[in-house]
Amino acid sequence: MAAQTDHGVPLSTLSPKFLHSNSTSHTWPFSAIAELIDNAYDPDVSAKQFWIDKTVVKGKECLSFMDNGNGLDHETMHKMLSFGYSDKIAMNGQEPIGIYGNGFKSGSMRLGKDAVVFSKSKRTSCVGMLSQTYLEMIGANQIIVPIVSFEERNTNKYILYLIQ
């Protein structure tokens, strides 16, 4: 049965096919790349440098985007891989470009079928995955986003979170 609220009202869900549909708003790949650059430039991340590279992983061509801005923790990684959550505010007079909470999803899914996000902040390292191939392989009827995060608790001790 579909997920419901405590009052029995059905929750809206998101089909994995939506990942492709949503990406078709980018009529050419450069607007998709621009979404990723905008995110790094926005005041919450405030990256000073941005690197774009192309590599081959297990015979598959793979684009990589890396910035040296502020990283994510488990909760913000979950928001990044979800839809419509954007709470950017102006900082030091810099207005954010992002407002819709959709650019990463539409942009990354325009460039590839699968995205793996690695992030490191002061105390947390996390990896999240938005993957059409994975969702097809497991026959998912909703979008699920596996996230693994390591949080430093005190010296040499880490907590490992596994959310799927």
- End-to-end CA gap in the chain: 19
69 contributes a contact to ligand ATP by CB under 6 A:
yes
Q: What is the CA radius of gyration of the chain?
A: 17
Burial of 5 (0-12, 13-18, 19+ CB in 10 A): exposed
Chain Cα centroid distance, residue 111: 14
Q: Is 26 in the site for ligand ATP (CB under 6 A)?
A: no
124 scored as a contact of ligand ATP (CB under 6 A): no
The interface with Mg ion within residues 20-49 (CB under 5 A) comprises 39
43 lines the binding site for ligand ATP (CB under 6 A): no
> Quick one: which of 16, 96, 98, 128 contacts Mg ion (CB under 5 A)?
98
The CB-of-42 to Mg ion minimum distance in angstroms stands at 7
Q: At what angle are helices 29-41 and 103-111 packed, to 10 degrees?
A: 140
Q: How far is the CB of 18 from ligand ATP (least distance, A)?
A: 14
Query: Nearest to residue 111, comparing CAs of 2, 5, 19, 40?
Result: 19
Q: Using CB under 5 A, which of 16, 103, 112, 128 touches Mg ion?
A: 103
Q: CA-based angle 139:146:53, to the nearest 5? A: 105
CB of 43 or CB of 103, closer to Mg ion: 103
Residue 160 CB, nearest distance to Mg ion (Å)? Answer: 29
Judged by beta carbon distances under 5 to 8 A according to partner kind, the member of Mg ion, ligand ATP, none in contact with residue 76 is: ligand ATP
Give me the residues that bind Mg ion (CB under 5 A), please. Answer: 39, 98, 103
